[in-house]
Amino acid sequence: MHADEVATDAELVRSLLRAQFPRWAELPITRLASGGTVNAIYRLGAELTVRLPLRPGGAEEAVREARLLRRLAPLLPLPVPEVVAVGAPTAEYPMAWAVHRWIEGRNPVEGELAEPESVAAALAAFALAMRRIDVPGGPPAHRGAPLVSEDRETRAAIEALRRTDEPFDADELTEAWEESLAAPPWPGPPCWTHADLMPSNVLLAGDRVRAVIDFGTVGMGEPATDLIPAWNLLPASVLPEYREAVDVDDATWARGRGWALSMAVIQLPYYRTTNPVISANARHVIRRVLGG
């Protein structure tokens, strides 16, 4: 997916475990199919996973995630990953990596929710709980700056899409982006935000939300970033109840739409030939935004 991506395989995982966590080194290791773009994920036995960052920036997220999850997990209404060990860089793999407790579940797919009301309620409760966390000293979220900070990259991505065969009108995308940019900025202090509530970071048990995973982007920002499920996952039929539950004003809702759109138009030209899960979701978001 990335030009600077580090190659990984099960033998690398076993070698790292033998050197640093030998008690797990002989467990079965299987790479998991994932729409994620930051980590290669391996199932380790029945109860663990190993997450290897694909790029150097992901290593910093692995260390930060391990530190912050211990503080945030007791304050959230859904299970989140439990980091049981953090591995050190080595000559064969020059980044920090992590071992997590396995959480059983499956990722939802846009347009295929059997119980959308339940999913909407759970994700709204999670976003509200994140916003209300009172833990000082949090780092800036990955998407913690005002929406306008994404303007240059978003416009460049729209122009990149204009040069593809994707069936979207670049001028309509620009107009939709500018509508969100025109919304007043968040007037309050930074609050805690997950900042990446993509379907690939949500787990379902049956048809209900089981957990939220991948906290590599977590930190202090504005609450609009955690509204993106309104466009990347939830059907329009449940949005009135979802919006009431997340308790935001018109400006925050508009910025949430802008965050969802920005992420989608940046993802699509980059991943359209390498990550079918992310690119399909990006197209879904764009259709939702342009459709109203």
Other C-beta atoms closer than 10 Å to the C-beta of 155 total 17
Q: Which pLDDT score is estimated for 258?
A: 98
As a whole number of angstroms, the distance between CA 146 and CA 188 comes to: 12
What tokens appear for 160 in the block?
Answer: 């990149």
Write the Ramachandran bin of 214: left for phi over 0, alpha for psi from -120 to 50, otherwise beta: left
Other C-beta atoms closer than 10 Å to the C-beta of 193 total 27
Q: How many CA atoms lie within 13 A of 68 on its CB side?
A: 27
Q: Which pLDDT score is estimated for 75?
A: 97
Where exactly are the structural domains of the chain? Answer: 10-101, 116-291
pLDDT in tens, 72-118: 999 999 999 999 999 999 999 999 999 999 999 999 999 999 999 99
Q: What fold, for 116-291? A: Aminoglycoside 3'-phosphotransferase; Chain: A, domain 2 (3.90.1200)
- Alpha-carbon distance values, 81 to 10, 73, 127, 186, 252 (Å): 21, 8, 17, 29, 28
Tell me, rounded to whole angstroms, the distance of Cα 168 from its chain centroid: 24
10-101 and 116-291: same fold? no
What residues contact residue 244 under an 8 Å CB cut-off, 6+ apart? Answer: none
| 40 DSSP β-pair partners | 52
Q: Which pLDDT score is estimated for 33?
A: 80
pLDDT, tens digit only, all 292 positions of the chain: 555 678 899 999 999 999 999 999 999 999 998 766 778 999 999 999 999 998 776 556 777 888 899 999 999 999 999 999 999 999 999 999 999 999 999 999 999 999 999 999 999 999 999 999 999 989 999 999 999 999 999 999 999 999 999 999 999 999 999 999 999 999 999 999 999 999 999 999 999 999 999 998 999 999 999 999 999 999 999 999 999 999 999 999 999 999 999 999 999 999 998 899 999 999 999 999 998 5
Best CA proximity match to 263, nearest among 200, 182, 220: 200
Other C-beta atoms closer than 10 Å to the C-beta of 263 total 24
Q: Which pLDDT score is estimated for 3?
A: 59
CATH code for the structural domain at 10-101? 3.30.200.20
As a whole number of angstroms, the distance between CA 61 and CA 218 comes to: 9
Q: Which pLDDT score is estimated for 64?
A: 80
As a whole number of angstroms, the distance between CA 69 and CA 273 comes to: 33
Best CA proximity match to 267, nearest among 200, 210, 219, 213: 200
Residue pair 227/252 in contact by the 8 Å Cβ criterion: yes
**Model-level pTM?**
0.93
Q: Which pLDDT score is estimated for 71?
A: 93
Residue pair 196/216 in contact by the 8 Å Cβ criterion: yes
Q: What is the DSSP string of the chain?
A: --TTPPP--HHHHHHHHHHH-GGGTTS-EEEPP---SSEEEEEETTTEEEEEESSHHHHHHHHHHHHHHHHHGGG-SS----EEEEEPP-SSS-S-EEEEE----B---TT--SSHHHHHHHHHHHHHHHHH---S-PPBPTT-S-GGGGHHHHHHHHHHHHTSS-S--HHHHHHHHHHHHTSPPP-S--EEE-----GGGEEEETTEEEEE---TT-EEE-GGGGGTHHHHTS-GGGHHHHHHHHT--HHHHHHHHHHHHHHHHHHHHHHTTT-HHHHHHHHHHHHHHHT-
